Amino acid sequence: MMKKTLIILLLTVVPMYGRAQAVVITESGGWLESAFVKWEPVETADSYHVYYSGEGITDQLIDDQLIRGYGSYFRADIPGLKAGSYTMTVVPLTEGVEGEGSQTGAITVEAHDRSGFAFSNSRVPGAYKADGTPKSGAVILYITENSKNTISLEVTGANANPCVGLQTILEGFKKGDDNRPLIVRLVGQVTDLDYMDKGDIVIENSNNASGFITFEGIGDDAVADGWGIRVKNASTIEIRNIGLMNCDSEEGDNIGLQQNNEYIWVHHCDFFYGHAGSDADQLKGDGALDAKTSGYVTISYNHFWDSGKSNLLGNGIEDPEYLTYHHNWYDHSDSRHPRVRSHSVHVYNNYYDGNSKYGVGSTNASSVFVEGNYFRNCKYPMLISMQGSDVFDEDLQVNDYVNLPTFSKEDGGIIKACNNFMTGQQRFVAYGANGFPDSKIDFDAYVVSGRDELIGDTVLSFQGSNTYNNFDTNEGIMYSYMADSPLEARDKVMAYAGRVYGGDFHWTFNNAVDDPSYDVDASLKAALVAYQTSLVSVQGDSTGNGSVDPGDPSDTATVVDSADMVHNFTLSGTSNTFFSISGNLSDSKGTVSYAGLTLTQCLKIESATLIACTTQEEAVLTLVFNEGFSGVIKINGTDHYITDGILTLTIPAGYYEITKGDVANLYYMSIAYASPDDTTPVPVVEWSDLTLYPNPVSDYLHIATDAAIQGIEVYGITGVLVQQTGANSRIVDMSMLNAGTYLVRVKSDEGIQLRKVFVK
């Protein structure tokens, strides 16, 4: 039989490899749960492969879109790494053939600081695990200037599928019916999309506690140019490593946590000027990062560049919510660092660097714990509305409650301050300070000698008579963390705040001029408006679809597979370009083991179910149902009998419709065009330039050859066809196969070759 011949021939197969000019690596390094490598262009290379090894991973091939060209150099970044030591290997490809690779030295990757209220109650926001690697089943989308409007994905619960365009895909997750972790990766400078929501990209998931979304930038130059990010009715969301500039959305914020959000983590972003708003205080944009009716939020390691209004927190009177602001760089930004209404907020280890108005502001019965911050030339480090420095007239040395409130006429809250460093401030009055006779009434903060000190209910805000709620000493509320000293915090912030290694936009402020100024810096504004990425190309950049994360071969996700005539409902849902599939899926009908696959999702064969396809020549149709199932399926209206869960049928060329006979569950199907008679030996002809890599493989197997490929088939060791591609395809998705040995049959205009491949 044919399958026996294939296995025998397997023993004689010897792979052949081509060579190309070697790679010269110019720079490499590790960052927070990511690593990068740069290299000089190889004149003979058409493209590159980049592999990484470390922490239990060996020669893992990264996604093409992580490899970018910048004219004089190439760069690849790898996000989603756990802390540890790694190496990266860059290999040039010439006409699909791998050449001589070059490897970096050891690269040290550090862990992110996952501190703050966003991680309360054992929650980990976003689509990455606590160790930094993607959560199981994560789907990854790459958004470039080319793909932003055409990227597509099948989303459970969407109004229509496939969802096309980034905002449409995110709207598919709005109902919270799709529990797959979603990673959206921004690559390069991305301008306004064709379809947005009032000029924003909006993230929602109906507060689905089982849904996780990360919106992140790749490398040091990911930029959202002209549009904002708005989060609403959402849970377990992460936004990181993005530069936001020139935002002119209707809402006006670079990032806005608009309403009803929980367990949100925004970190390592660069916030630049937006376009001027309509109000006099919006010349630098409406706001940088505001949060309204949102709780269990962490804002950390962000860089605010001369923002006018950095962090408004709350919009009116709301129930207390818990938020953390730590290790942010308020770099010559004016005010709201944050401005707090109602909520309970921990503000620690931030660097206040030349702030022309004020640092932290407390209103409307809020309780704010301000700890371990470094204030350099911040005019008023802390303010409570309608008292202390907020209303003090420096010239007349009196309080002016009518004309001088610096930031609000609302009722006050209480600020608890501990271990902060201040230099160059205009005024700060601690509760009970000597030399200020009314300081127990008219103060900016209650200063304690240790963080565990309680504030009694006799300490009241001047307006509203509000007290401090001591949330920070309540073990049932407060999280575990380790605060740096103010000096350590300043240095850490300057090293880590903002995008990878500080991002690709550099600016030096003139402290003598910029510290006291809250005007727009005309030169900085012009530089941002004129910003243009130096990115030239993104490898594999197209209108592609979501991909399974390559970091964990056991992860699976519903991914559009347009390559072939083999369909696995567990992997691909109802998406396939050879088969037209309509009907309902289920993951509760049992598990089926077939040809090295573990199948957990099926298409329910019901009255409304229809599968259609057209074959070009005689073929073998295989349908796989529940193990042991016997029943009837209709093919073009004719009954065909299923025995022990499998139907195998030879069909002539033509159009076919598969419909319900008996109620059944279909897990897998394939069409294999007939080969020569099974009793005839397979004609195997060697051609010298065929290369299959990587081997062992965990996700995508690449086929390199000068020959014109007519088709590729993958067989289990028992001879069962488990994967198949059409003509001209040179990539085979192996990610859904269980670990083991497989036979790959490559047919070209030069003949047929067989190769043994190991799936790990």
Residue 65 belongs to domain with CATH number? 2.60.40.10
Q: Are residues 594 and 659 in the same domain?
A: yes
The pLDDT of residue 19: 44
602-605/585-586 β-pairing: antiparallel
Domain that holds residue 639: 561-673
Which of these three, 52, 76, 111, is where a domain ends? Answer: 111
The number of residues making up the chain comes to 760
Q: Are residues 57 and 86 in the same domain?
A: yes
700-704/691-693 β-pairing: antiparallel
Which of these three, 82, 111, 140, is where a domain ends? Answer: 111
The pLDDT of residue 13: 37
Residue 701: beta bridge partners?
A: 732
Whether 643 maps to a domain, the answer reads yes
Query: What one-letter code names the amino acid at 243?
Result: G
Whether 9 maps to a domain, the answer reads yes
Q: How many CB atoms lie within 10 A of CB 593?
A: 10
- What distance in Å separates the CA atoms of residue 142 and residue 539, rounded to the nearest whole number? 11
Whether 578 maps to a domain, the answer reads yes
Query: What one-letter code names the amino acid at 101?
Result: G
CATH of the domain at 584: 2.60.120.1360
CATH of the domain at 748: 2.60.40.3080
Q: How many CB atoms lie within 10 A of CB 270?
A: 27
Give catalytic residue positions: 336
Question: Locate tokens 């989308």: which residue?
Answer: 141
User: For residue 596, how far is the Cα from the chain centroid?
Assistant: 31
Mean pLDDT by runs of 10 across the 760 residues of the chain is 39 38 93 98 92 96 95 96 98 90 97 98 97 96 95 93 95 95 97 96 96 97 97 97 95 93 97 85 87 95 96 73 97 96 96 98 96 98 96 88 86 97 97 91 97 97 97 96 98 98 96 95 92 92 47 32 66 80 90 86 90 82 94 92 91 87 93 52 52 82 82 71 76 80 79 78
Q: Are residues 683 and 652 in the same domain?
A: no
Contact status, residue 252 vs residue 282, Cβ threshold 8 Å: yes
The pLDDT of residue 120: 96
The pLDDT of residue 647: 93
Q: Are residues 664 and 745 in the same domain?
A: no
The pLDDT of residue 705: 81
Please give the model's pTM, rounded to 2 decimal places.
Answer: 0.72
| Residue 151, SS3 per DSSP | coil
Q: Are residues 731 and 645 in the same domain?
A: no
Q: How many domains does the chain have?
A: 3
- What distance in Å separates the CA atoms of residue 166 and residue 171, rounded to the nearest whole number? 9
Burial readout 95-126 (b: 16 or more C-beta within 10 A, e: otherwise): ebbbbebbbbeebebeebbbbbbbbbeebbbb
- What distance in Å separates the CA atoms of residue 387 and residue 712, rounded to the nearest whole number? 76
Query: What one-letter code names the amino acid at 760?
Result: K
